[in-house]
Amino acid sequence: SQQGEEDPQALSIQEGENATMNCSYKTSINNLQWYRQNSGRGLVHLILIRSNEREKHSGRLRVTLDTSKKSSSLLITASRAADTASYFCATDNYGQNFVFGPGTRLSVLP
């Protein structure tokens, strides 16, 4: 069974718009991470948010975490064509291993 589930499965936006992706999980976590995967490539770590944090920023990325709802969101502001990729959330469950969701495919149209 998968711990993280991203929503939506696919998202198409225009360049300059904001993109929001959501992740829900089922059990207690130590931290939650977001990764990006460009087509045909390995995953690249974007940002980590710990269970005692509610919001974190990194450049154009903003991540929120609501442990009471067991959910997280990733906001990409002022999106660019180069942001076109699949985005995955992964939960780290206190020393048990990561569980990745199926991902959100983001297309940013020029």
Partner 1 sequence: NAGVTQTPKFQVLKTGQSMTLQCAQDMNHNSMYWYRQDPGMGLRLIYYSASEGTTDKGEVPNGYNVSRLNKREFSLRLESAAPSQTSVYFCASSDWAQNIQYFGAGTRLSVL
* Cα dihedral 107/108/109/110 (nearest 10): -150
Give 15 or 53: the residue with its C-beta nearer to partner 1: 53
For position 45 contacting partner 1 by CB under 8 A, the verdict is: yes
Q: Which residues contact 104 (CB under 8 A, 6 or more apart)?
A: 6, 7, 8, 9, 10, 11, 21, 86, 87, 88
Binding to partner 1 (CB under 8 A): which residues in 51-90? 88, 90
CB of residue 101 vs partner 1: minimum separation in angstroms?
5
Residue 45 or 57 with smaller CB distance to partner 1: 45
Q: Of 41, 54, 57, 80, which one interacts with partner 1 (CB under 8 A)?
A: 41
